[in-house]
């Protein structure tokens, strides 16, 4: 299997989505010992006994806010970085696809066929699985446009989306996959399916 292919452009955003979905997050169980440590009284001793004071104990709600907010911000920042890096990797692959594209050839290039008799590594696939991918002189530029706009969209909303961030980022990457699939699939039925499927993540993105 050639790494520079339309199939790779479909797989990379899916891998990024899986990484974002499986990214570990802070649970209440993990934060309990840290909260207990912070909210415990602290005794400060001065030069004389009369100067002994008892440290101010943070309330539980305030301490949860102080502890969890920095960790949540760090988690959100990491999720955004994963999504942006994934989209940039896909953009680089599409540029390499453009560089290797032979403009003098009439027909589809980088054709990838997945069917019951042609697996990715020569293995046997079920007969009903059939996926033909390829690009021509028109679809190539639509693929470039899609991979170019996706990181711009992620960067433009970098400081705006904080609520449901993981859901938003996964929807953006799935939208990229479906858009690329529309331009590289060579089967009319699958073209219709992918074309209509674009509306699903787009609907969730608008909702977020």
Give residue 37's pLDDT.
42
Q: How far is the C-alpha of 163 from the C-alpha of 131, rounded, in Å?
A: 37
**16 CB-near residues (< 8 Å, 6+ apart):** 82, 83, 85, 86, 87, 173
Q: Do residues 17 and 170 touch, judged by C-beta distance below 8 A?
A: yes
Burial zone of 4 (CB within 10 Å; 0-12 exposed, 13-18 middle, 19+ buried): middle
CA distance 126 to 120: 13
Q: What average pLDDT does range 59-72 have in this prediction?
A: 52
pLDDT tens digits for 13-51? 999 999 999 887 533 344 444 443 444 444 445 555 554
pLDDT-derived band at 74, boundaries 50, 70, 90: confident
Q: Give the pLDDT band (50/70/90) at residue 10.
A: very high
Burial 21-30 (b: 16+ CB within 10 A, else e): eeeeeeeeee
pLDDT tens track for 170-192: 999 999 999 999 999 998 989 99
Q: Evaluate whether 87 touches 150 at the Cβ level (below 8 Å).
A: yes
pLDDT in tens, 92-151: 999 999 999 998 888 899 998 877 555 555 555 566 667 889 999 999 999 999 999 999
Alpha carbon distance 137, 140 (integer Å): 6
Higher pLDDT, 70 or 148: 148
The pLDDT value given to residue 121:
54
Q: Report pLDDT for 122.
A: 55
For the CA atoms of the chain, what is the radius of gyration? 25
What pLDDT, on a 0 to 100 scale, did the predictor assign at position 33?
Answer: 41
Mean pLDDT of 152-166: 84
């Amino acid at each position: 299997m050639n790494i520079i292919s339309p199939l790779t452009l479909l797989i990379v955003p899916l891998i990024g989505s899986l990484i974002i979905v499986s990214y570990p997050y802070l649970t209440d169980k993990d934060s309990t010992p840290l909260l207990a440590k912070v909210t415990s009284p602290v005794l400060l001793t001065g030069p004389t006994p009369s100067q002994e004071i008892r440290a101010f104990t943070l309330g539980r709600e305030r301490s949860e806010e102080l502890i969890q907010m920095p960790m949540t911000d760090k988690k959100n920042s990491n999720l955004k970085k994963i999504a942006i890096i994934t989209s940039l990797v896909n953009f680089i692959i599409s540029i390499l696809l453009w560089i290797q594209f032979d403009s003098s050839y009439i027909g589809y290039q980088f054709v990838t066929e997945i069917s019951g008799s042609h697996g990715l590594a020569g293995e046997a696939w079920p007969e009903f699985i059939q996926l033909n991918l390829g690009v021509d002189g028109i679809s190539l530029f639509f693929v470039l446009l899609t991979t170019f706009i996706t990181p711009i969209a992620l960067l433009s909303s970098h400081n705006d989306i904080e609520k449901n961030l993981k859901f938003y980022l996964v929807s953006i990457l799935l939208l990229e996959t479906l858009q690329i699939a529309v331009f590289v699939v060579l089967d009319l039925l699958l073209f219709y399916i992918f074309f209509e499927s674009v509306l699903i993540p787009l609907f969730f993105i608008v909702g977020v």
